[in-house]
């Protein structure tokens, strides 16, 4: 027991000695850092020092051995070169040529990004009161190999895998901003892109990421499964009348969902119609199918358009002179509506001749 206590005391003493030495080292390093000159060895710091005070070039070839040496006073400094003369353009001179817009010095990434923006800003088929705009596209791809979901989730960034909640790896990328669901069977579903071109590009990127992990996927069976679009008719719609007239294709439960669901058979498309006139189109596999379905559904919407009653306008008519207000009173009423004058106060009736008033009655106490 005594030997163990002695060994423990020696260990504590050694640890205290090491801690003190490390503390002295940190203090000495901090002091050296405070005494270090402001401009050391890098080229940018040397140029900054040269602009503040005239100095010579640093000695030594190494970056650590380079020091700055001041210029002696007896040595003459070279005068800086004079600034170039300013060129002023007179009114007679022709204007400078405009910049060349056909310069092909830009990168291919910028050109591709500009093409993508133009594709997104393209205006599709236009109806009388609104446009159809694509909001989301969904596609499916077959990778033709089994996927180890746990390995894929642990080897990639921005990935989620929780088999208790969902049996697929959720992967996300930023350009284009899309999300992929990778299943163990090798099927992959990509969503989030606004156009089929961007969707195909995102699916290729997800395949490249899976290939870097160590798998050998094959890009097969790419197909767009659903396209979601929106439209605004710019007028309100009578949903109750619409669901009564088309009860075979429409369903409307305002207590569960505020929109009317209209299922069209040919072409196959689903409309979510709201009372404000906004419509969501889904179920089609291309924008052409959506345009054909909306063109067929447009007369039905116009039939059940909610007519808003115009607000009545107050007609100002000139009153006859007998009903015009008097100029002396600000809120005077017409003569027929004015109050009658107050009656004169009542006067006591005169006593008849020969009338003797009775004596006053004295009431004894």
DSSP 176-215: TTEEEEEETTSEEEEEEESSHHHHHHHHHHHHHHHHHHT-
Residue 356 has what pLDDT? Answer: 75
In DSSP terms, 188 is beta-bridged to 141, 182
Residue 355 has what pLDDT? Answer: 74
Spatial strand order in the sheet of 178-183: 159-160, 168-173, 178-183, 187-193, 132-142, 220-232, 278-284, 269-273, 260-264, 250-251
The alpha carbons of the chain give a radius of gyration, in whole angstroms, of 46
Sequential pLDDT tens for the chain (365 residues): 888 888 888 888 888 888 888 777 776 766 665 555 444 445 555 555 565 554 454 454 444 444 444 444 444 445 455 555 555 555 555 555 555 544 444 444 444 444 333 434 433 334 443 488 999 999 999 999 999 999 999 999 999 999 999 999 999 999 899 999 999 999 999 999 999 999 999 999 999 999 999 898 888 889 999 999 999 988 999 999 999 999 999 999 999 999 999 999 988 999 999 999 999 999 999 888 999 999 999 999 999 998 876 655 655 556 666 666 555 555 556 666 666 667 777 776 676 777 777 777 777 76
Please name which of 162, 210, 161 lies closest in space to residue 188, comparing C-alpha atoms: 210
Q: Is the pTM of this model over 0.75?
A: no
Residue 353 has what pLDDT? Answer: 73
Please name which of 239, 298, 308, 241 lies closest in space to residue 274, comparing C-alpha atoms: 239
- Please state, in angstroms and rounded to a whole number, the distance separating the CA atoms of residues 145 and 16: 61
Q: Provide the sign of the torsion angle of the four alpha carbons 135, 138, 139, 145, taken in this order.
A: positive
Q: What letter does residue 326 receive in the DSSP assignment?
A: P
Tokens representing 289 are 């199918």
- Please state, in angstroms and rounded to a whole number, the distance separating the CA atoms of residues 252 and 348: 83
E-only strand ranges, 41-153:
132-142
CB–CB of 141/203 below 8 Å? yes
- Please state, in angstroms and rounded to a whole number, the distance separating the CA atoms of residues 256 and 229: 23
Residue 220 has what pLDDT? Answer: 87
Residue 48 has what pLDDT? Answer: 53
Indicate the length of the chain as a whole number: 365
């Amino acid at each position: 027991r005594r030997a163990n206590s002695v060994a423990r005391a020696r260990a504590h003493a050694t640890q205290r000695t090491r801690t003190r030495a490390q503390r002295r080292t940190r203090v000495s390093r901090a002091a050296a850092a405070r005494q270090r000159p402001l401009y050391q060895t890098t080229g940018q710091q040397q140029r900054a020092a040269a602009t503040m005070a005239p100095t010579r070039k640093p000695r030594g070839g190494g970056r650590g051995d380079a020091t700055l040496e001041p210029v002696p006073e007896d040595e003459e400094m070279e005068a800086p070169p004079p600034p170039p003369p300013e060129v002023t353009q007179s009114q007679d001179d022709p204007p400078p040529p405009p910049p060349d817009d056909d310069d092909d010095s830009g990168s291919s990434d910028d050109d591709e990004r500009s093409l993508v923006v133009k594709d997104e800003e393209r205006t599709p088929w236009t109806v009388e009161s609104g446009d159809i705009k694509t909001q989301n596209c969904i596609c499916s791809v077959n990778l033709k190999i089994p996927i180890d979901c746990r390995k894929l989730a642990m080897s990639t960034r921005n990935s989620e895998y929780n088999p208790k909640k969902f049996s697929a790896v959720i992967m996300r990328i930023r350009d284009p901003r899309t999300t992929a669901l990778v299943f163990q069977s090798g099927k992959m579903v990509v969503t989030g892109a606004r156009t089929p071109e961007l969707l195909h590009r995102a699916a290729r990127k997800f395949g490249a990421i899976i290939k870097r992990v160590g798998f050998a996927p094959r890009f097969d069976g790419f197909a767009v499964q659903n396209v979601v679009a929106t439209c605004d008719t710019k007028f309100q719609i009578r949903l109750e009348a619409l669901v009564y007239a088309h009860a075979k294709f429409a369903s409307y439960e305002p207590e569960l969902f505020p929109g009317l669901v209209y299922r069209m058979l040919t072409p196959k498309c689903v409309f979510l119609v709201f009372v404000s006139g906004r419509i969501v189109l889904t179920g089609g596999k291309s924008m052409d199918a959506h345009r054909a379905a909306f063109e067929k559904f447009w007369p039905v919407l116009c039939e059940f358009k909610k007519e808003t009653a115009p607000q009545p306008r107050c007609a100002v008519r000139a009153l006859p002179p007998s009903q015009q207000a008097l100029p002396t009173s600000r809120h005077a009423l017409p003569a027929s509506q004015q109050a009658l004058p107050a009656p004169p106060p009542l006067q006591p009736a005169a006593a008849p001749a020969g009338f003797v008033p009775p004596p006053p009655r004295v009431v004894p106490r």
